[in-house]
Amino acid sequence: MKSIAYVAALLLLASFTRGEEEREEMPAGHHIQKRSCNFKGEECTKDVDCCTMQCICTTNDCKCGKRPRPSELRKYFTKRTCGGT
């Protein structure tokens, strides 16, 4: 009976420490991915509000058209992935 309690306690401890490890591996913020431009008019990829968009190069910067910036509260309450998943 003691061995069952010991194994159960060990499994509980292992699952708790595994959950802590996974939590530490998640980044604190969202990494913004940008691709540098080589040619004007070339398609480029830019991460805008954590959603990747296809954009066009102007000079040496990737531009995606004008969009209103979301409010700080909206950023706080929405999830960090596209589609709300």
Q: Which domain holds residue 73?
A: 37-77
Give the integer Cα–Cα distance in Å for 49 and 82: 9
Token representation of residue 79: 């999830």
- Coil, strand or helix at 13: helix
* Residue 25 forms part of a structural domain: no
Does any domain span residue 22? no
- Note the pLDDT tens digit of each residue in 7-43: 777 776 676 665 544 444 444 454 555 566 777 778 7
Which two structure tokens, joined as six digits, stand for 75?
Answer: 């950023």
Question: pTM score, two decimals?
Answer: 0.32
The tally of domains found in the chain comes to 1
Q: What is the pLDDT of residue 40?
A: 78
Structure confidence at residue 64 (pLDDT): 75
Structural domain contains residue 70: yes
Q: Is residue 14 part of a domain?
A: no
* Residue 85 CA to its chain's centroid (Å): 11
User: Across all residues in the chain, what is the average pLDDT?
Assistant: 63
Q: How would you classify the pairing of strands 51-58 and 61-63?
A: antiparallel
